[in-house]
Amino acid sequence: MVFTIIIISCHLFATTNENEIETEIVKINYIGNNNINAKKINKILNVRIDNTKKYKDGFNKRLIKLEEERIKYLYISKGYMNCQVSDSLFVNSHNQLNIIYKIREGEKYLLNKLPIIGNKVLEKEDILKILDLQFNKYFNIFSFKDKLKLLKNKYGQLGYAYAEINYEMNNDPDLEITIKIDENEKYFIKDINISGLKKIKDSAIKKQLNIKSEDRYDLGKIKQSRRRIIELGMCNSVNIVPENRNIDSQYVDLHIKISEALEHRWDANFGFRQGRVEFVNHSYLFSQIDWTHKNIFSRAHRLSISSSINLLMNQIFDLKNTQFSYDVQLSYRVPIIWKYHLPTTISLYQKKDVYSPFNKIKIDKNDELITKGLSVLSNYKPDRKFQISMGYTLREIESILSQERSELQNRVSIISKYDNRDNFLYPHNGFNIRLSTDFVNSFEGNFSQYIRWEMSVAKYFSIFKNTVLASRIAIGEIYNFSEYDPLTALFRMGTETSVRGWTQSIGDEYLTTDSLTVYAGYNEVLANLEYRIPLFWIFGAEFFIDAGQLKNNFKDVFQLNEYYISAGGGIRIESPVGPIRFEVPFVINDPSGKKKFGDQTEIKIIIAILFAY
């Protein structure tokens, strides 16, 4: 039988072009998998019955060999270091392919002893903390090698640029690993040399460095300097390597190798986007053209002109409920201000936003907000996860919500963000925290004088391998120092990114100068919980519950009957630019009494770059 399978398999791959066939996979079997079940193995494979019925460009032996390596990697990561995997293929009379993986697991290796030799700078306890190994637990060689890189980086941060770390292990399931460390000497920086520059000045690059001559060699600062140079946006690649090592003087040079990018760039974008229009979320069809010069004065300063035209909508395909908006902006970006690494952008802009603070379905001219002005924005970003933005804007606002229809304002804003999500579009783990504060006052009269702050915390939990529990809590408050309500700044709530089930804003009633009713609030409390499940291919399902409250104070914050609450489910399509969501929200509670329990007005079609939060 085995001989027959081999003969058929050889014939199969010998008679096809470049070892390719067009066939249907009907069965995948495993032999010898005593400690890891087939379900867990299936999850890591790309060649599956459920999503690879046929291969458009044919099927080849190389794909199966790659799957063998994935199975072997899984077993080795679970401690089965001597695991072996082989395959057998069988094609029946209907040209249907059966795949058999034969697994020889071997014994599971458990870490028993970990002697460390040669460490003088770092104590053994510090090294064990970095390695984060568990004794008498299965040993993951791949994770161990990654942790050794972290240990080497730690030595590099302390100045030991040429520290060598090796290990030896016995071939016994009761595993003993000996780590041998040769720390060498601590080194200092002598010269910093830059190569590859054609149009950028050396001084523009050196300003991005937080390490200089005579400093101790510090791998952490070197990596941060490299990131800063890359963030200039003027380099295709940046590498910083030590060279010219002098053992006697314990000095080493740094060589910065740079490949420059093109100075000029045109960008044209077209598609769907989800965003914020003056505190109200929306979806829109957009077209955008940008021109950028990335190296003004040969100092990596950036000049850009951006223009966009947007078609805003509450429901895609609801063309009667749409309106155009636009945004034109001229910006100049300086990477260094006053010797500090605070990339600063100065912008002149004019834009027309569309939003709907009124409780109605149709968007009309009452929903226009035209702003134009001058803004200065500086960013402080010590690492990839944390960022603080500080800005000043001199702006003119034209809106039916303004007391005099047109108002000249000062605005000072501070925004801090912390984002350690594992994936920007489809997060499974991590936090996304945002805190913003605005200080606003009018130049003339006493129309707008207020402080507005808002904080949101989103947390993502990976419940199973691919299912995600996403949660968010947001809270905000406005301190008003004017006799007039700041209607352009009051919190709004509703639509697809806050409390689904209410198309327009919810909250208390406020009157404009034309006696139009605005639904908004001085205080905001919002909570969302969503369970996201993969179905098949690019399709997924989601179940959610939303709750929100807009009031003049927080006295009803613990009164559940004072919250607008909705729940429901939907289908998600995972596209390369973000999820396309088809959702059906149902009303659970409406404090205004306008909607009853179980009401569902329409199926919301939401096209977005990001999840609802």
Give the pLDDT confidence of 49-104 residue by residue, as tens digits.
Answer: 654 444 444 456 777 888 899 999 999 999 999 999 998 887 777 777 788 899 99
**pLDDT attached to residue 119:** 94
Instruction: Specify whether the CB–CB gap between 506 and 494 falls below 8 A.
Output: yes
**pLDDT attached to residue 27:** 80
Between CA 152 and CA 158, with CA 156 as vertex, the angle to 5 degrees is 120
The DSSP secondary-structure symbol of 86 reads E
Buried/exposed 145-168: b ≥16 CB within 10 Å, e otherwise:
eebbeebbebbbebbbbbbebeee
Pairs from 440-444 (Cβ < 8 Å, separation ≥ 24): 440/409, 440/410, 440/411, 440/412, 440/486, 440/489, 441/409, 441/410, 442/407, 442/408, 442/409, 442/410, 443/408, 443/409, 443/410, 444/407, 444/408
Chain-centroid distance, C-alpha 254: 33
**pLDDT attached to residue 96:** 74
Which residues is 521 bridged to in the sheet? 491
Three-state DSSP state, 141: helix
Q: Which residue has the tokens 């972290």?
A: 150
Between CA 596 and CA 603, with CA 600 as vertex, the angle to 5 degrees is 165
**pLDDT attached to residue 522:** 95
**pLDDT attached to residue 607:** 53
What whole-number distance in Å separates Cα of residue 112 and Cα of residue 288?
60
Contacts of 126 (CB under 8 A, 6+ apart): none
End-to-end CA distance of the chain: 56
Query: How is residue 88 written in tokens?
Result: 């057998």
**pLDDT attached to residue 488:** 85
Q: Which residue has the tokens 């659970």?
A: 588
What whole-number distance in Å separates Cα of residue 122 and Cα of residue 235?
37
**pLDDT attached to residue 153:** 95
* HEC readout, 54-78: CCCCCEEHHHHHHHHHHHHHHHHHC
Taking residue 441's Cβ as centre, other Cβ atoms within 10 Å add up to 16
CA atoms within 13 A on the CB side of 6: 4
**pLDDT attached to residue 48:** 65
Contacts of 527 (CB under 8 A, 6+ apart): 471, 472, 473, 474, 546, 547, 548
Contacts of 146 (CB under 8 A, 6+ apart): none
Indicate the burial class of 128 (C-beta count within 10 angstroms; 0-12, 13-18, 19 or more): middle
H/E element holding 502?
none
Query: How is residue 114 written in tokens?
Result: 């970990």
**pLDDT attached to residue 507:** 83
Which residues is 396 bridged to in the sheet? 372, 408
Q: Which of 494, 387, 379 is nearest to 435 (CA)?
A: 387
What whole-number distance in Å separates Cα of residue 603 and Cα of residue 584?
5
What whole-number distance in Å separates Cα of residue 520 and Cα of residue 340?
41
Instruction: Name the H helices within 87-210.
Output: 124-131, 141-157, 202-206
Instruction: Specify whether the CB–CB gap between 493 and 459 falls below 8 A.
Output: no
Pairing of strands 386-399, 468-480: unpaired
Query: What backbone phi and psi angles, to 5 degrees, belong to 41?
Result: -70, -45
Taking residue 451's Cβ as centre, other Cβ atoms within 10 Å add up to 16
Q: Which residue has the tokens 């179905």?
A: 535
Question: What pTM does this model have?
Answer: 0.74
Instruction: Specify whether the CB–CB gap between 291 and 231 falls below 8 A.
Output: no
What whole-number distance in Å separates Cα of residue 94 and Cα of residue 59?
16
Query: How is residue 253 written in tokens?
Result: 């040079």
Pairing of strands 164-169, 174-182: antiparallel
What whole-number distance in Å separates Cα of residue 481 and Cα of residue 523?
15
What average pLDDT values come out for the chain (613 residues) when binned by 10 residues? Answer: 34 42 71 91 76 48 85 94 89 77 94 94 94 90 94 95 94 92 95 94 91 94 92 92 94 95 87 52 74 92 92 56 82 87 93 68 67 94 90 91 83 96 88 96 84 96 88 96 89 80 79 82 95 91 94 90 92 80 88 83 53 67
Contacts of 395 (CB under 8 A, 6+ apart): 371, 372, 373, 374, 375, 408, 409, 411
Three-state DSSP state, 430: strand
